[in-house]
Amino acid sequence: MTRLSVNINKVATLRNARGENVPDVVKFAQDAEKFGAQGITVHPRPDERHITRKDVGDLKKVLTTEFNIEGYPSDDFLKLVIETGPAQVTLVPDAPDALTSSAGWDVVKNADFLTPILARLRQAGIRTSLFVEADPVQVRKAAEIGVDRVELYTKPYADNYDSDRDAAVAPFILASQEARKAGIGLNAGHDLNLKNLAFFHKSLPLLDEVSIGHAIIADALYLGIEKTISEYLHQLQK
């Protein structure tokens, strides 16, 4: 079964706009779990413009599902995640001031940089994932340097879904097959939504997890978070 991890960055963004604790990020995460989310994802950035270091610690104390922390593997980030001990760390190649993740790692080029970081996280008992493009070469290299999973960057699929969904998903099918061949797990995320998720899931039956944030929070403005999570889970059951 493909698991749904809800990224709650946008909830923290809304809270931080007023400088108080409304909405309550921790309560929202707990409610998401109660409504069926099988994981919670956060991406703490150096400027704490949404998720803060305090949020990470507070969430770790109460979450009952899988906790996934995304981020660029700076010294500060690695210290935070090793102290926290989430179930999974997803490494992304974002610059500190990036608005959002907009590309996957060039694992071939960055293998020497990433290999000791993956080993350090593995030694801490944390499952590792690398954010990569839907490229079998990158997936294969990620497996070679010791990652547990890759997370496929799905914006190209979302961008091309309306014009030709079969062509849009084709590279992701190949990447998923390479992950299976290499013996590593497979996650996906970025711009997946209620319109395109079911077809993506049907096309990639080997998918372990999807991480979705922006679309879920946007849909919740109209549907409410309980109904929204139910609808996303339904897409993963089709």
The residue annotated as part of the active site, out of 66, 190, 201, 209, is 190
Residue 219's nearest CA partner among 227, 209, 211 is 227
Q: Are the C-beta atoms of residues 180 and 153 closer than 8 Å to each other?
A: no
Sign of CA dihedral 217, 98, 152, 80: negative
The residue annotated as part of the active site, out of 33, 50, 66, 70, is 70
Phi-psi region of 151 (alpha: psi -120 to 50; beta: other; left: phi over 0): beta
Report DSSP letters for 184-221, one per residue.
-EEEEESS--TTTHHHHHHH-TT--EEEE-HHHHHHHH
**Which amino acid appears at position 203 of this protein?**
S
Residue 74's nearest CA partner among 130, 100, 113 is 113
70 is catalytic: yes
43 is catalytic: yes
Q: Are the C-beta atoms of residues 135 and 172 closer than 8 Å to each other?
A: no
Which residues, in sequence order, are bridge partners of residue 68? 41, 88
214 is catalytic: no
Q: Are the C-beta atoms of residues 24 and 225 closer than 8 Å to each other?
A: no
Phi-psi region of 128 (alpha: psi -120 to 50; beta: other; left: phi over 0): beta
Task: Specify the long-range contacts of residues 83-87, CB closer than 8 Å, at least 24 apart.
Answer: 84/56, 84/57, 84/60, 85/60, 85/124, 85/125, 85/126, 86/60, 86/126, 87/39, 87/126, 87/127
Task: Please list the active-site residues.
Answer: 43, 70, 190
